[in-house]
Amino acid sequence: MTFSNCGIGLDFTTADDSGSISLIDSYASNTGIVMKGAASALLENIRTTGSGPTLQVGDNILVTGDTALVQKTFVYGHVYTNTSGPDVASTGMFLPYTDRGELVDANGDYVYKAQPQYTSYGSNAFVSVKDVGARGDGQTDDTQAINAALAANAGCKITYFPHGVYVVTDTIYVPPGSRIVGEVWSEISASGAKFNSSANPHVMVEVGKPGEVGVAEIQDMVFTTADVLEGAILVQVNMKGTNPGDVSFHNSHFRVGGAAGSRTETACQSQTTPCKAAFLLLHLGYAYASPIITWLRLISK
């Protein structure tokens, strides 16, 4: 975000519950206060010029305007300082700056890629998975139909998922050249025996095979489970792009444990009986030209 000539850049003082706010790779010039308020905040790689406090909570200035936050990380709120102990209520601390690898631009910021809009394409560029037999009714096994659609559309068409719940009982393979668009968070939902074993986990959506290079753009989708599936890896990304951001997720979400229509809504209610709704939500592969993720949310209960 860029703030210029304003009193307060981000103001959370009147919000009932601002939750956790992260401000990353941002710039402020001639701004009175860059961020004010917030129950929990993370600031990383913030550049300021001619501005006041970078973070102020109540009357307390936690990060002054002249504190260099370039290639630094500052956190305020509850922080886990080790892997086994409880969280610690922090009034503010600097953390080691994470190496960003090669997914950066000339300024050292994370590469940014806006959500594709495909406005230059005509309606004939879009193919609905329902045109090849997928139902999206939350009951029919749509595995074969979805795989057939993705294989046929790779490199030439945009695969469209009308709103619905697409149950799959085996891996969905997303080949290089795939562009996938959902409608108000269309769901791909794992079901069946292949996802049952935590000793032998099974991938629901596989983006590319190891060693493959290409483009994959996925937006407005939800990845979930229809049952208690201890061996389900919801998404695994094996493919890398020629350029940073060639493989990207936008406005896509992971949800397990208690969603309406899933057996976890009724089967996982007792705290005395642990319940593993899935094995893993997301597994990312290549470090070079690795995936860009915008508005991706991991939700578990």
Q: What CATH number should be reported for the domain holding residue 186?
A: 2.160.20.10
Q: Are 134 and 227 part of one and the same domain? A: yes
Q: Are 196 and 70 part of one and the same domain? A: no
Q: Are 37 and 150 part of one and the same domain? A: no
Q: How many residues in total does the chain contain?
A: 301
- How high is the pLDDT of residue 18? 67
3 state SS of 41: strand
**110 lies in a domain?**
no
List, as one string, the DSSP characters of 87-147. Answer: -EEEEEEEEPPPP-TT-B-TTSPBP--PPP--TTS-GGGEEEGGGGT---EEEEE-HHHHH
Q: How far is 163 from 185, CA to CA, in rounded Å?
A: 7
Residue 288 has pLDDT above 60, yes or no: no
**118 lies in a domain?**
no
Return the minimum-mean-pLDDT range out of 16-25, 128-137, 160-169, 199-208: 16-25
Structural domain ending residue among the three candidates 43, 78, 95: 95
- How high is the pLDDT of residue 293? 55
Q: Are 144 and 240 part of one and the same domain? A: yes
Side-chain-facing half-sphere of 207: CA atoms under 13 Å: 28
136-139 long-range Cβ contacts below 8 angstroms, 24+ apart: 136/161, 136/162, 136/163, 136/164, 136/165, 136/166, 136/186, 137/164, 137/165, 138/164, 138/165, 138/167, 138/189, 138/226, 138/261, 139/167
Decide the pairing of beta strands 165-168 and 137-141.
parallel
Residue 297 has pLDDT above 60, yes or no: no
pLDDT, one tens digit per residue, over 98-118 is: 888 878 888 889 988 999 999
Question: What angle (nearest 5°) sits at the alpha carbon of residue 95, between those of residues 293 and 252?
Answer: 15
**35 lies in a domain?**
yes
Mean pLDDT, the chain, integer? 89
**109 lies in a domain?**
no
Q: How far is 32 from 9, CA to CA, in rounded Å?
A: 8
**116 lies in a domain?**
no
Instruction: Give residue 54's pLDDT band: very low, low, confident or very high (50, 70, 90).
Output: very high
Q: Are 144 and 83 part of one and the same domain? A: no
Instruction: Give residue 17's pLDDT band: very low, low, confident or very high (50, 70, 90).
Output: low
Q: Are 237 and 194 part of one and the same domain? A: yes
Structural domain ending residue among the three candidates 42, 77, 95: 95
**88 lies in a domain?**
yes
Q: Which domain holds residue 267?
A: 124-300
Q: How far is 50 from 59, CA to CA, in rounded Å?
A: 20
Decide the pairing of beta strands 158-161 and 178-190.
parallel
**237 lies in a domain?**
yes
DSSP state of 288: T
Q: How far is 21 from 33, CA to CA, in rounded Å?
A: 15
pLDDT, one tens digit per residue, over 123-142 is: 999 999 999 999 999 999 99
Structural domain ending residue among the three candidates 95, 113, 141: 95
Q: Are 91 and 189 part of one and the same domain? A: no
Split into its structural domains, the chain has a count of 2
* 255 within 8 A of 299, measured Cβ to Cβ: yes
Amino acid at the residue 106: A
- How high is the pLDDT of residue 112? 85
Q: Are 190 and 87 part of one and the same domain? A: no
Q: Are 141 and 257 part of one and the same domain? A: yes
Q: Are 84 and 192 part of one and the same domain? A: no
> Terminal CA-to-CA distance of the chain, rounded, Å?
31
Q: How far is 248 from 251, CA to CA, in rounded Å?
A: 10
Q: Are 132 and 228 part of one and the same domain? A: yes
Taking residues 195-223, what's their average pLDDT?
A: 96
Q: Are 280 and 133 part of one and the same domain? A: yes
pLDDT, one tens digit per residue, over 143-181 is: 999 999 999 999 999 999 999 999 999 999 999 999 999
**282 lies in a domain?**
yes
Taking residues 201-227, what's their average pLDDT?
A: 96
What is the gyration radius of the CA atoms in the chain, in angstroms?
22
Taking residues 54-83, what's their average pLDDT?
A: 86
